[in-house]
Amino acid sequence: MVILYTITIQKTMNFHTRKWIKPEDLNPNGSLFGGSLLKWIDEEAAIYAIIQLDNQKVVTKYISEINFVSSAIQGDIIEMGMEVVAFGRTSLTLRCHVRNKITRMSILSIEKLVFVNLDQEGVPAPHGKREVSYIKDRFEAEK
């Protein structure tokens, strides 16, 4: 069941970042510390939002419930996938999936991570984006 979910999710998500689980990433039980994983997810999602909104002043507004369905141990390799759920007026909503490349198990999914686009004063500002774009395409458009 878990493995099937991993396979179906692959088609729409962009898995950009992998992490190699090291001793400093473990909790006292010897498995991946959830706090480390959440920090990586927040950063990965923020980078995704910054690139999509083309603005470095973006903040995390809301993260929906997190269900850790399996874990990782030292030496495992995990990868984090992001996809856009919705472009709002000032916000961008992402979905995240993390999976273990070694065990082929899902680690967690987060249905909603909401980022808000800010102006120079730190006030929510319309971002004007409506669809996903890729940096590669932007470079090619500038040639």
- The residue ranges that bind ligand COA (CB under 6 A) are 59-62, 88-91, 114, 116, 124
In the bound state with ligand COA, the residue whose beta carbon lies nearer, of 63 and 73, is 63
CB of 12 to ligand COA, least distance (A): 21
CB of 133 to ligand COA, least distance (A): 18
> Residue of minimal CB distance from ligand COA?
88
Residue 104 tokens, joined: 């082929």
DSSP 132: -
CB of 26 to ligand COA, least distance (A): 25
